[in-house]
Amino acid sequence: MLALERKATVSKDRSVRIRAQPFGGGVRILDQAHLQTIIGQVRFDSERSEREADFRILISPSKWELVRQYSLRHLADANDMELESLPHRELVEEFAETLGVGLQPHQYTFRPTGFVIENQPVPTDNVNVQRRPTVRVYRTFEVEIIDTALCRTMLSANQLYSDEELARLALGDSRNGGRGRANSILILPLNLVLESYLALPLDLRHQKIVIENHKIDESVLAILSEVDVPEYERA
């Protein structure tokens, strides 16, 4: 089975975007000093990214190869002092947001599965910097939930909200002064997801698709090593 984070987000025009994507998020910058010697002043993509030291930064195209090599080198080191290179913090935060549970180390195992690099800039749909040409480096991990009770909680939550109900929750959060977001979980048979993508021609795979009436974000392809995607370089 494949567990995805299902997110509803209210945009500035009050429309609601719903998509399922892998658990995980921005890498945290632990020490900017070395990065500054490579690119100069670190410019974040939003005030929130700056406040949380997320590795979501604005760079000139000429700096991409330097930043790419910097990212691969530091994210490969589990004990790195400059970039957060392990998935624990993001997993804990997202399980709290999605399921309302405090994920504990004994409840899961993880193993690194490599890197996925987007070398060709594509317009981002991030609400903070919408349409800016963006390249990404993904550090991917396979996480297995080994706690039976938590597995049952995840399966129950999978049935809790339809996409429409999740959209209403996000709109309600926005009206109440929140960020206009609501999270849930989506659990799908892994074979179904693989077959859905493999059925598409190679040049049409890198897109959002619908599986069992749920919109699946193209970032899911980053964790599916069995699916070739021209837009991704795997390392």
pLDDT by residue for the chain (235 residues), tens only, comes to: 999 999 999 988 888 999 999 998 889 999 999 999 999 999 998 898 999 999 999 999 999 999 999 999 999 999 999 999 999 999 999 999 999 999 999 999 999 999 999 888 877 665 555 567 888 999 999 999 999 999 999 999 998 888 889 999 999 999 998 989 999 999 999 999 999 999 999 999 999 999 998 999 999 999 999 999 999 999 8
In whole angstroms, what is the distance from residue 196 CA to residue 13 CA? 32
The amino acid present at 219, given as its one-letter code, is S
Do the strands 2-10 and 181-188 form a parallel or antiparallel pair, or are they unpaired?
antiparallel
Kindly provide the b/e burial profile for residues 100-123, where b requires at least 16 CB atoms within 10 angstroms of the residue's own CB. Answer: ebebeeebbeeeeeebbbbeeeee
- The model carries a pTM of 0.86
Q: What does the radius of gyration of the chain's CA atoms come to, in whole angstroms?
A: 18
In whole angstroms, what is the distance from residue 199 CA to residue 175 CA? 41
Site of tokens 């991990």: 141
Evaluate whether 230 touches 221 at the Cβ level (below 8 Å): no
Q: How many Å from the N-terminal Cα to the C-terminal Cα in the chain? A: 24
Q: What is the pLDDT of residue 125?
A: 62
Evaluate whether 167 touches 137 at the Cβ level (below 8 Å): no
Site of tokens 């594509």: 122
H or E, element range at 88: helix 88-99
In whole angstroms, what is the distance from residue 23 CA to residue 35 CA? 26
In whole angstroms, what is the distance from residue 199 CA to residue 181 CA? 32
Residue-wise DSSP of 22-47: -S--PPBBS--HHHHHHHSS-EESSH
Task: Kindly tell me the number of DSSP H helices and DSSP E strands found in the chain.
Answer: 7, 12
Collapse the DSSP code of 5 into the 3-class scheme (helix H, G, I; strand E, B; otherwise coil) and give the result.
strand
The amino acid present at 230, given as its one-letter code, is P
Of the candidates 194, 96, 106, 197, the one whose C-alpha atom is nearest the C-alpha of residue 153 is 96
Q: What is the pLDDT of residue 28?
A: 95
